[in-house]
Structure 1
Amino acid sequence: MEHEAFRLIGEPKFGGILVVSDHASNRVPDDIELGIASHLLNEHIAIDIGVGAVAELLAQRPGIAAYLGNVSRLVCDLNRAADEPSVFPVTSDGHTIPGNALDLAGRAARLARFHAPYHETLAALLDRVPQALLLSLHSFTPQLASNPEEKRPWHVGVLYNADDRAARLAIPLLQAEGLCVGDQEPYSGKDLNESMDRHGEAEGRPYLGVEVRQDLISTPAGQTEWAERLGRIANQVAIALAG
């Protein structure tokens, strides 16, 4: 299934795992002009580097499917609430996005085109095929261009809001892999967790919010390694939650 706002890879199974990656694409539709240099579309302000490939590899595993955002976060940030200004960021990591200076009609049109179908389709999918676990997959940059002195040493972060059931299980499993694991790092899931707040917490569905440092999944070898790791750990978490 594919729409300009989302892609579904694989067939979700009842009691399976659904990978949800809001920022998996850097696609900008031809009729939208952001007014930025083209090279920025390959940087973290436009896309979560590596997560699309990891999600596709995960979806090859039994019982796992992937639901991916199909448009750049600069066009519409699908992991923000519809009424938040940052759903169409006018600045990102020191860069101005002129094409996002939208009036009310422009905002409404873009929300209806991307944000609404993305979340409405995901909600309907989860109602139709209940999952044992939602794996929210993102990546983060080792340091922000606007704050290069602040290094982010974590290999992976685990984010959550009020529901930390899956997080509490996953953190020690990730640490046992020899990883530097951030608990609510490099930022808090209480602040940046819209998709899981809406489709996980609000519905009582268990979710695991994972942020992988982008340099670790920027190559095919790293993507394969992390897909194997996350698939294995997500299955362990799902089994423990069901037990």
Structure 2
Amino acid sequence: MKRLFTTTALVASMAFASAAYAASDDMQNTSKEVTPAEQQDTQAATETPEELLTGSLNESADVLTIDGEAAIMSATAISARDVIGASVVGPDGEEVGVVDDLALAEDRSIEQIIVADGAVFGFGGKDVAIDFQGASITRDENDERTVRIGMTAKALESVSEFDKAPLEESGTRLASTWLDREVTLATADDGSGEVTDLIMSESGTARYAVVEFGGLLEMGDNQVAVEVAELGAAPAGEPFNLSMTQDELREAPKFHYDADEVPQQTDM
């Protein structure tokens, strides 16, 4: 599965100081008490968009590495779009369901993996919540993700159903509520874009929202990884706001999921 992306406010996260976040509010209807590990997040940058784009790009090795004009997602980073819908496998190697969603804490770290128990091809089954700290996400030679948990299908049958409604209403506490969501750019002339993915560190903290922008002829070529803090919070169903113009976004290096997808000079 090949996709080309352009990354933009990528530089912003490298300049931010890290700050520890406290654990989030208790989740409702969970299968077990949730005690997420403290995650590191970033503070708002003081630079203007122009300074961010023209400044030196630094590496954030746990999520992105910089190679010339390309920004490449690290092998250990997590793509929310790839994980949602992935198979969930128990300790016996048997598939027990699929990932229905990712529940995020207030600091935008993955708190729980919501599993559709007994789902077939993404349909059916009830939703149950599994502590993210008790799961692992693997990738095979075909770049397909699998989530491995310590519960069998029989064990999941006895787990209470998880109610996602309160998280959906928050607008930002489910990974799925970020995807395919409108992003309003700096001016009316710039129009709007759309969030196509959330890029997370190996520890599960959402670091970048991939934003697609431009006209129909540009879609797919103009996709930018923006520090999630730049989008802020927005009520459910409302667009995010990004104070950058299309011209500013176009100055950013292209983002790629894999180094093999970076065009060589002879391909340009």
Give your verdict on TM over 0.5.
Answer: no
| TM-score, structure 1 as length reference | 0.28
Report the TM-score when normalising by structure 2: 0.26
* Greater helix share, structure number: 1
Q: Indicate the structure with greater strand content.
A: 2
User: Computing the radius of gyration over CA atoms, which structure comes out larger, 1 or 2?
Assistant: 2
